[in-house]
A = this chain, B = another copy of it.
């Protein structure tokens, strides 16, 4: 058991989302977040690099998992299939957190600051995929271009997943987006 009440990061994240939705991102100070979580401002910065980062928990872990899954995919699998498989591998975790993801999306959409950080995360995902594809033997520029388009398809798929009134699974939307991608690419 921890010496201090555990789950510090989680408590900070919950406090942040609460306050952001209550009074908006800009009108919430880091000190307020920390206080609601029963901590101090300095402790917040011990856990998150900056104020935005509290809205992207586990993102780096996800990117690392995708990188490793793609790199470890069977050699006969096509690049696109390998990436799609890596995306769908842990997609049920997201399905179980769909509502939280929707609340988060609302916040991101409302603030350019946060969208900018999200773009950086998507870019990091793309670069991780490019690394993994190169590790699989795919040379540049194919690796870079394929990785970029996979990141774009991932973005499209999650966007549809979050707005789907029928609540179909993330895997469904990712597959559909990759299929759209293949269809569209044939017209280029």
Interface string of A109-152 (1 = CB under 8 A from B): 00000011101100100000000000000000110111011001
Is A187's CB within 8 Å of the partner chain B?
yes
Q: Which of A19-27, A64-72, A177-185 participates in binding chain B?
A: A177-185
| In the complex, chain B residues whose CB is within 8 Å of the CB of A180 | 141-142, 145
Cross-chain contact A184 with B141 (CB below 8 angstroms): yes
Choose among B120, B152, B153, B181 the residue that contacts A119 (Cβ–Cβ < 8 A).
B120
Per DSSP, are chain A's interface residues mostly helix, strand or loop, or mixed?
Answer: helix
Choose among B78, B148, B188 the residue that contacts A152 (Cβ–Cβ < 8 A).
B148
A40-92 residues at the B interface, CB under 8 angstroms? 78-80
Choose among B142, B181, B184 the residue that contacts A184 (Cβ–Cβ < 8 A).
B142
Cross-chain contact B115 with A145 (CB below 8 angstroms): no
What is the interface of chain A, defined by CB distance below 8 A to chain B?
Answer: 78-80, 115-117, 119-120, 123, 141-142, 144-146, 148-149, 152-153, 155-156, 177, 180-182, 184-188
